[in-house]
Amino acid sequence: MPGGANSIMPKQKPLFFCDNCSYEVGDDLKTCPYCGRNFVSVRCPICDYSGPDRMFQSGCPMCGYSAPPKPKTPKPAKKKPGRKNIPADEPLPFWTYLLTFIALLIVIAIFSWLITK
């Protein structure tokens, strides 16, 4: 089979992504429009070859890679053992307010008892 499978399918135009925020950017930009990072050179995500953007117009000059990189997945937050993670916008349970109010009443009662003595 001359030419292989690549001769049937047209080669896709390479896509460029910001190393900092992973958004797709134009191949002629000097700074990322999303995070503002300056582009000094282009780096291949497969072979880590770096060079000026004009060398990457038809893919990586070293390995030929031109597919988009996989998007970054955020790392899960580490949970502290024995403690529930309560979101900041969720109110505290009612019993915490009740116990705080009772403790405040006890402190006021002791303070007024000490003053009158």
Q: Which residue has the higher pLDDT, 32 or 88?
A: 32
> pLDDT tens digit string along 32-55?
888 888 877 777 777 878 887 777
- Nearest Cα neighbor of 13 from 35, 28, 34 is 28
What pLDDT does 23 receive? Answer: 81
Q: Which residues pair with 59 in a beta bridge?
A: 57
DSSP 55: G
Mean predicted confidence (pLDDT) in 102-113: 94
The pair of three-digit structure tokens given for residue 111, joined into one six-digit string: 């303070």
Q: Which residue has the higher pLDDT, 115 or 71?
A: 115
50 phi/psi in degrees, rounded to 5? -120, 145
